[in-house]
Amino acid sequence: MADLVVIGGGHAGCEAALAAARMGISTLLLTLNMDAIALMACNPAIGGSAKGHLVREVDALGGEMGLAIDDTFLQSRMLNLSKGPAVHALRAQADKQQYQNRMRRALLTQENLTVRQGEAVSIETDNGAVTGVTLLTGVRIACRAVVLCSGVYLRGRIFIGEAQWDGGPQGLMNASRLSASLEALGFGLRRFKTGTPARIDQRTIDFDRMEPQYGDEPVTPFSFLTDRPLRNQVCCYLTWTTPETHRIILENLSRAPMYTGAIRGVGPRYCPSIETKVMRFADKERHQIFMEPEGLQSREWYAQGMSSSLPEDVQWRMYRSVPGLEKCELIRLAYAIEYDCIDSRELRPTLETLRVKGLFMAGQVNGTSGYEEAAAQGILAGMNAALQLQGKPPVVLTRDMAYIGVLTDDLTTIGTDEPYRMMTSRAEYRLRLRQDNADLRLTELSHAAGLASDERLERMRRKQRDAADAERLLHTTRFAPGPQLSAWLAKKQQPDSAVPLSAEELLLRPEVSLRDLAELDSDLAAIPPAAAEQAEIHARYAGYLSREEAMIARFRAMEETVLPENLPYGEITGLRLEARDKLLAQRPRSLGAASRIPGVNPADVTVLMIYLKKHAARQQENR
């Protein structure tokens, strides 16, 4: 017996199990294959645009993904540096086997956590609450809560051209029986699809015909706990498709399962197959292919941008039409995989299901795509399962608090009709929700819930103090006009000044950085790097941040208007029929969440506000 059973050992399952165990919950992690724990079945990388924000938030909450990638990365880059800090995002190539080993070691050495191989075929309930999990062997494991993190394994089906078979990713088995249990519990399942490129033998790649893509120096770590120097170990490469590539694809579309109707599942809009890109963007002469290694002990290279489900003979010709791949040997073929997932609107913001008490879901079973989205949901589901078992209030992350809050709110209020991917454009308050301040936003909350360690909290508070001191120093440090200031301004190609200037005022000039100002003042040079980053951003973007805070205050007023779970929407006069149906089905947590449900318009929100005021007045009269 365990208090909590986590089903699935992917990126969601790992974070869910570790979070609950670290909070003192007796936890069992069930995985189909012990060798596939934390498998990177698609790209061998962590982070990227918006995804890097999620990883840093997982880390700030006390998760493992950031620490694991810092220990096992091959090359790291901070993306979007030519743009503002709101969209800066880390991405690191991983040694995929070492990443798995590192995450497996964290699981196997974690107190309160047991890991075992086995296939769950049924989730047992009594009076609408979880009571246990039954395995394929017939053994029943009693528990009080379950976090389902089934990834793409539920009735997974592989497609390569005309060939198709039941299976999971990378030659693994699927989970063919658990879907029936979910359907018996009342969940409506849908079919989504994803895919992956071929893996190519490094010895057959002509890197001289490609553009090298180097990592950053110095390397910025993902984890706020990592303070040792990190170094890049490999170089990645860039190449492009050709007109010949496109001709091969177009001439063979009649054999592509996406176009023959063999695949019924909906694929990801923002990570389409190469055949979909060639069709959708017919005016583009070429598409970018990013070549990245899978590990130091592996000869496999990943061709990002060439996901496909075309037949094998077509794949060989297609890949060999790309510069640098003319003599390439395919080690693993590209394929598509179709799988079951739920309608995410059947979840609460805590990621507990509306139908079954104690049943939480995280990752691709909720209709998302990506390791980072999965890990983010996993840690939130694991935390809330633990808190529920401890009889404590849940953690709800809202849109103004975290990218994880944007993710969960989108899933639970709007839902998704295609594999959901996190993007910076989805976050209304992205200047506040930067990747550099995830610890300042989330660590204290997680520590109060019992997950983030004392060490994390102390580091966050030290950074907070140092940043506040740095901001005061920028405001009070002034440079008098004179030869020294004039010479420095001329060197920086800045106009001279006849009046004193503060460091804060100089930072408002786009070409001037805090590192530049350190040349003028030794106290500025002594500011710790993390605090300097915060102070510089606050100085440069103070006006924008103030406006965003005003927007957040209005948002919070709606979010803090809590809707009772038993609110009789069917009896509220003035609500349109569509709005009643949607509100009854989803039971939104707040007035703000209700306003974001498709089919609930501003007039419906006004009706709800009036009803709540009248209800509150009646309660007051009855006291």
Predicted confidence (pLDDT) per residue in 508-558, tens digit: 888 899 999 988 899 999 999 999 999 999 999 999 999 999 999 988 888
Q: What is the pLDDT of residues 171-185, one digit of tens each?
A: 999 999 999 999 999
Give the separation between CA 339 and CA 190, rounded to whole angstroms. 8
Please write the tens of the pLDDT for every residue from 179-218. Answer: 999 999 999 999 999 999 999 999 999 999 999 999 999 9
| Confidence label for 587 from pLDDT (cuts 50, 70 and 90) | confident
Classify burial at 351, counting beta carbons within 10 Å of its beta carbon; exposed 0-12, middle 13-18, buried 19 or more: buried
The DSSP code for 351 is S
Question: How high is the pLDDT of residue 607?
Answer: 86
Which percentage of the chain shows pLDDT scores above 90?
81
Q: How far is CA 274 from the centre of its chain?
A: 23
Torsion-angle region of 493 (φ positive above 0: left; ψ -120 to 50: alpha; else: beta): left
Beta bridge partners of residue 261, listed in sequence order: none
DSSP for residue 356: S
427-431, 438-442, 610-614: the lowest-pLDDT one: 610-614
Dihedral sign computed on CA atoms, order 575, 577, 583, 584: positive
- For residue 125, give the H/E element and its range: strand 120-126
Average pLDDT over residues 87-112: 98
Task: Give residue 387's pLDDT.
Answer: 98
Distance CA 623, CA 618 (A): 9
Q: Which amino acid is at 415?
A: G
Looking at per-residue confidence, does 439 or 512 come out higher? 439
Could you identify the residue written with the tokens 């992917």?
A: 10
Full set of structural domains in the chain with CATH: 4-152+187-195+338-448 (3.50.50.60), 199-336 (2.40.30.260), 471-547 (1.10.10.1800), 561-621 (1.10.150.570)
Residues 375, 147: contact at Cβ < 8 Å? no
Q: What is the DSSP letter of 36?
A: G
Cis geometry, peptide bond prior to residue 602 (ω within 30 degrees of 0): no
C-alpha–C-alpha distance, residues 401 and 251, integer Å = 49
Q: In the prediction, which pLDDT does 259 show? A: 87
What is the reported pLDDT for 165? 97
Segment 300-309 shows an average pLDDT of: 97
Residue 620 has pLDDT above 80, yes or no: no
The maximal CA–CA distance of the chain, rounded, in angstroms, is 85
**Can you read off the two tokens belonging to residue 318?**
């297609």
Pairing verdict, β 359-361 and 145-148:
parallel
Checking if the pLDDT of 456 tops 70, the result is yes
Average pLDDT value for the chain: 94
With CA atoms as reference, report the closest residue to 360 among 2, 121, 594, 20: 20
